[in-house]
Amino acid sequence: MNNCCSTDKQEYDLAVIGAGSAGFSAAITAAEQGARVALIGKGMIGGTCVNVGCVPSKTMIRAAEAVHGTGAAARFPGLSGNAHVADWQSLIKAKEDLVSGLRQKKYIDLLPEYDGIDYLEGAVVFNDTGLLLDGKKLVARKTIIATGTSPSFPDIPGIENVPCLTSTTALELDQQPRSLLVIGGGYIGCELAQMFARLGSSVTLVTRSRLLPEAEPEIAASLTQELRNEGVSVRTGLTYERVEWKNDKTELTINVDGQAEVLSAEHILVTTGRKSNTNGLGLETAGIEVNSNGGIVVDAYMRTTRLDVYAAGDVTGRDQFVYMAAYGAKLAALNAYNRDERTYDNTTMPWVVFTDPQVAGVGLSEVQAQKRGFVVKTSVVPLDQVPRSLAARDTRGLIKLIADEATDRLLGAQILAPEGCDSIQTMALAIRFGMTAQELGDTIFPYLTTVEGLKLAAQGFARDVARLSCCAG
């Protein structure tokens, strides 16, 4: 690792604040352009994704799928199976070993490969003239802020007095929770609620509105039912009155249609959102604006409201996915080191929720398309019309496509399917290159695949796919 013990005489083309996925993307991109880069970290290198987000959660979700899959084998006549968590601490250790291995291989070991990057550690503050690192001046021609986010807590009376778990600490428990109360129906809440339930915890999931409020209502309703079928108690359309710690349990008082009700559990897990890590940076002094959700305001070129300062990744408060953080950071580095020529484009950004069935989407939802002024048409195909699902004896889910009524051009897609995450990229490409529903329906797809369901959904705009034979069309 290239470490600098002093910054007094160091001058850099670019200072990157934050050593997570966005920070590394920006630093490597700039170094490949020939820039001299100061990559500044604070705390554990690697950021959210590898340490406490994507990697640890997804390996635990896969473990839960393995447990669930043995019992689900009974959907095939003549099969039976059962699995359970035999050693929780071994499972957690395996997760930690994976995380530490990837952090070493994909972050720490990469730094010596780039001569132009100096890795520095310390607290960065903007002042009137530039940057201070641990109180000492750091000279850099341009700066990129990529400090990420951390969990935030809802405004529920009493929550500050209750030992709440976050998505980070929930995956670090040394004992499997007997019961868990999950607050928040977004993608993190849904993923972790199902995961813990499949591993044997009694789980209640509560949310003010509905699950996955940004997803199509058909998708959200179907996922809600699937979670309930697995034993998760899903409570929606409620308000929170207070939360207390009593008799070694958390008690959450909710209000449903004017009636108060108390829910209790051994642990409470808060998954209601994340806040940008900007405290202590001196943004106000630097004239760097933040928006209503606390994210740093950037334009299409990733520029902040201060000259020569850019921002990228989750700290901007938008598109909080690791691949979008890396994408935005790469653009910011190219623009900062060269000229402001490359613009951020998320119009065909795919997204995935790793529940089972998985939820995946791209483009505009039906409501979003209508708000944009489109007269839309939709096609919804349940998975019991997809041969792959019938062969797997697993017809949980559906596919929904949105198209422009006037031009037949595809505008958006959402999928709820056991293999939905591996199918959505087809729709990303179709929308990016302006395909019509007719063109997608005429495209050749391999038989007995989940992605073939997209062809059927495209054909569903004009015909009843239930009346088609296998491979017809």
Nearest to 221 by CA among 397, 451, 456: 397
Alpha-carbon span 458 to 473, nearest angstrom: 11
Q: Among the residues of 403-469, which ranges form H helices?
A: 424-432, 437-442, 452-459
Q: Is 148 annotated as a binding residue?
A: no
Q: Is 58 annotated as a binding residue?
A: yes
Q: Is 184 annotated as a binding residue?
A: yes
Nearest to 55 by CA among 6, 118, 8, 103: 103
The DSSP output letter for 244 is E
> Is the preceding peptide bond at 350 cis, omega within 30 degrees of 0?
no
Phi, psi (5° rounding) for residue 151? -60, 145
Q: Is 434 annotated as a binding residue?
A: no
Q: Is 470 annotated as a binding residue?
A: no
Instruction: Give the tokens for residue 155.
Output: 């405004």
Q: Can you name the residues that pair with 362 across neighbouring β-strands?
A: 413
Nearest to 120 by CA among 3, 237, 294: 3
Instruction: Give the tokens for residue 271.
Output: 């998954």
23-50 burial, b at 16+ Cβ within 10 Å, e below that, comes to bbbbbbbbbebebbbbbbbbeebbbbbb
Q: Is 282 annotated as a binding residue?
A: no
The DSSP output letter for 303 is B
**Residues 6+ away with beta carbon under 8 Å from 409:** 403, 434, 435, 436
Q: Is 187 annotated as a binding residue?
A: yes
Alpha-carbon span 278 to 205, nearest angstrom: 30
Q: Is 164 annotated as a binding residue?
A: no
**Three-class SS of residue 28?**
helix
> Is the preceding peptide bond at 357 cis, omega within 30 degrees of 0?
yes
Q: Which is it for strands 164-165 and 267-270: parallel, antiparallel or unpaired?
A: parallel
Phi, psi (5° rounding) for residue 345? -135, 110
Alpha-carbon span 282 to 308, nearest angstrom: 16
Q: Is 191 annotated as a binding residue?
A: yes
Q: Is 296 annotated as a binding residue?
A: no
Q: Is 218 annotated as a binding residue?
A: no
**Which helix or strand (DSSP H or E) is residue 252 part of?**
strand 249-256
Instruction: Give the tokens for residue 363.
Output: 């483009």
Binding residue ranges for FAD: 58, 314
Binding residue ranges for NAD(+): 184-191, 273
Binding residue ranges: 58, 184-191, 273, 314
